Structure 1
Amino acid sequence: MEGPPDISVVVPTYNRSQSLRRCVEAILSQETPGFRAETLVVDDGSPDDTQEVLQAFRDRVRVLRQENAGPARARNAGAREARGEILLFIDDDVIAQPGLLETHLRAHRAGEGPRVLLGYTPIPRDHAATSLMRYFRRRWDSIFDGMSRCEQEGRALPYRFCCSLNLSLPRPLFLETGMFDERFTRADCEDTELGYRLTSRGVPLRFRREALAHHLFTTTLRQDCARNEKNGIQAGRLYPSFTHLKDSFRIRHATFEDRSLRTTARRLLIGARSLRVASVCIGVAGPALPPPVADYLYRLLEINYFSMGVRSILASRSA
């Protein structure tokens, strides 16, 4: 078929060459009856063999490369170069299932007015091999169940559900809204913040369970604790510019506008004891823990490491 593509798939990637290979293969294997699609991969300065992996797809994929600046800037770079009327953002550890592109495109064509479409992207059962990964699977299943309830009741999703794992919207709308805020240099809250701006303009967020992809997210406890601390540093750095997103930024132990930074920093010292207890329990009991107990302990670790990151920023400001 001749002419510009109907849908542009944008994949930001950083240092995940093996999952990226599967991601791109799944996109390129999609059937596209009656429409045209293009795929753009934006390499966010990966130090691994990402460029070598992408070489195999050069004739079917448009490859962009930038200095490492985070997924927000990478997605924006892909969107600027895209030619399709609809943008579909897919992360590099997400594997599209049959019919994904068609489901996204048909939903936009059938809708009344512009909208944002979120697909169903669970962690597969056979991928959740550790206690930590089973926790993440349960947590994401709960989030998707909440999205499904909204859809069954005919309600648009709240902005906090906006997640760029498997998300599509009209390209003109994305550009007019200002794209992702590139001050977010880590993959945390940049999509939620975009969702806030979109819904503030009256654009509905909708969920389609049929827009299925599998999320091959993998992490260890050590990696996840480090990730949450770094996310806390980003939240502490950016929060003064986004006070309307306090809940989404997970600043639950601090109200920046009502307390001095020094007082807030002291309040964020909570959790040192609970951090040790949670770490010991998980290290000793691990897979034997009942799911509710494991979920509570993992969540406790997330909150505490995130708070440590926020605290480090507050301490530097109050010094």
Structure 2
Amino acid sequence: MSVPITAEGGVSIIVPTWNRSELLDVMLASLFRERSAFTGPSEVIVVDSSEDEERRNIEASCKRYDAILLDGEQNVRKKRNLGVDHARYALLLFIDSDVVVEPGLIQAHIRAYDRPGVVVGAAQGLTEFVGKGGFWWHVAELSGLTDSFSNARKYPFQSWSITNNLSVRRDVFERIGRFCDTFPFRLGGDDLEMSYRIAHEGLMIASAPEAITLHTKETWDNPHALLDRTKRWGFMESRVCDLHPELYKFVIPKNYVFVLPLTALFAIAGALQATSGSPAVGLYGAAALIALWAIERYAIACRQNTGLVNPVHLLLAVFFNARYEAFRLAGHFSLGKRAPEVHGMVFNRYMALGSLKPDARRLKRLFITIAFVFMCMVVLARVL
């Protein structure tokens, strides 16, 4: 039987960082205020791999705000594991270095473990993005890459978790094992894999929406950040599924599985018609299918954002979504997986059931669009 999580048991806060001395200083100041109001014992463990002036600034911040500083490798997973190795308390709290902690965060995490009828192994807090969003931030927002940071507000429990603002019982962490540090890239994927092992133990990942971190938009507001994340996040799905093959399940295909082959078919037919001197009805079909899909995508984006969106932002968001999907497919193909375009990572039946209705609506709209294009092509062929 696990020991209940209480303030008296204490909390060890683990912060991996690299070359973010200014952001880290603000973050540690907010943590210092939060720890001062917390009634139980606490510690902050910063694991850093910076050098020169950045390192000296981080050392000064840790001294100023009562944080332990450790030397870590240039690998976020290994940094978190090293922090756990030096942690003393019953609750492990993982926080990123580019956030600000809102008051009451620690106590909100502790409350999340007191759920009648269920055994909670971890708790996911809420991350809200703040600051002025520039051009690339609007692209990121439209792409949906930031959606998972607000999952704690949407659901009482989580199928998987992200590592920022995540607490884990120390006894659970020791039982299931450390963050997997053999994955490619320096970060990414290990939070999904670790949270799956928690759920696989029969434990719940509770939401703690009152445990809030404010995340600066600054670290997302550049093209490199989006290029890097779409590559890592897309590719890492295959590595998590390779480690846990039971996660690789059939999923309802995305629109491109139908749109791209049909568009290519129409385009080829139109090109053949044009070379034979006939009206290129097929080219009309290809253009119409793409145009109608783009119009629908734009309408959905405007509705979700409750206002008109910048078409350039949306076009780039579509590009980054396609890039994510391309790396996802490439990752699975590289491991010899079959048909990754109709398979994906599914953690449990709740995750699968939750997507049924929106996927059904999406496919209904798509098939109506395809049927409309076909009918128009038939009419045009007869008229011309």
- 1:98 aligned onto 2:100: no
Note the 1:93-242 alignment, pairs <5 A.
Answer: 93-108=98-113, 113-124=119-130, 126-130=131-135, 132-137=136-141, 139=144, 142-143=147-148, 146-151=151-156, 156-159=157-160, 162-184=161-183, 185-217=185-217, 218-219=219-220, 220-229=222-231, 240-242=242-244
Deviation track 1:182-225 (CA, whole Å, cap 9, x = no partner) reads 11342211000001100000110111211011112514213422
Residue 363 of structure 2 is matched in structure 1 by none
TM-score by structure 2 length? Answer: 0.60
Contact 1:114 1:173 in 2 (8 A): no
Say if 1:232 and 1:300 are closer, same or farther in 2 by CA, change over 3 A.
closer
1:24 aligns with 2:46: no
- The 3-state SS of whatever aligns with 1:38 is strand
Coordinate RMSD, CA, aligned = 3.3
The structural deviation recorded for 1:164 is 0.5
Displacement after TM superposition at 1:307 (Å): 5.3
1:40 aligned to 2:37? no
C-alpha displacement at 1:173, in angstroms? 1.1
Change (3 A) 1:29 1:196: same
- Alpha-carbon distance between aligned partners in 1 of 2:238 and 2:196, rounded to the nearest angstrom: 19
SS at match of 2:192: helix
Distance 1:142 1:196 in 2: 19
Residue by residue, what CA displacement relative to the aligned partner does 1:163-194 show, whole Å, maximum 9, x if unpaired? Answer: 10100021111111102111134221100000
TM-score calculated relative to the size of structure 1: 0.71
Q: Does the 8 Å CA contact 2:125/2:210 hold for their aligned counterparts?
A: yes
2:324 alignment partner, one of 302, 311, 314 = 302
Q: For 1:123, give the aligned amino acid.
A: F
- Tell me, which stretches of 5 or more residues in structure 1 are unaligned? 253-273, 279-286
Deviation sequence 1:91-133 (CA, Å, 0-9, x none): 1112111111222123336766442110100212x33222x31
Q: Distance in 2 between matches of 1:133 and 1:48?
A: 30
The 2-side partners of 1:134 and 1:142 are apart by 13
Moved more, 15-24 or 115-124: 15-24
Once residues 145 and 230 of structure 1 are traced to their aligned partners in structure 2, the CA distance between those partners, rounded to angstroms, is: 20
- Counting matched residue pairs gives 266
Give secondary structure in 1 for the equivalent of 2:155. Answer: helix
Residues in 1 aligned to 2:239 and 2:147: alpha-carbon distance in whole angstroms: 29
Query: Structure 2: where are the runs of 5+ without partners?
Result: 1-7, 255-289, 295-308, 337-384
Larger proportion of helix: 2
Give the partner amino acid of 1:225. Answer: L
Deviation per residue, 1:1-56 (Å, 9 max, x gap): xxx9711110011222221121211111214342121100011x224634212222
CA distance in 1 between counterparts of 2:239 and 2:215 reads 29
The alpha-carbon distance between structure 1 residues 99 and 187, as it changes in their structure 2 partners (threshold 3 A), is same
Q: Is the 8 A contact 1:120 1:210 kept in 2?
A: yes
Q: Check the 8 A contact 2:193/2:240 in 1, yes or no.
A: no
Distance across 2 between alignment mates of 1:246 and 1:16: 36
Residue type of the partner of 1:195? S
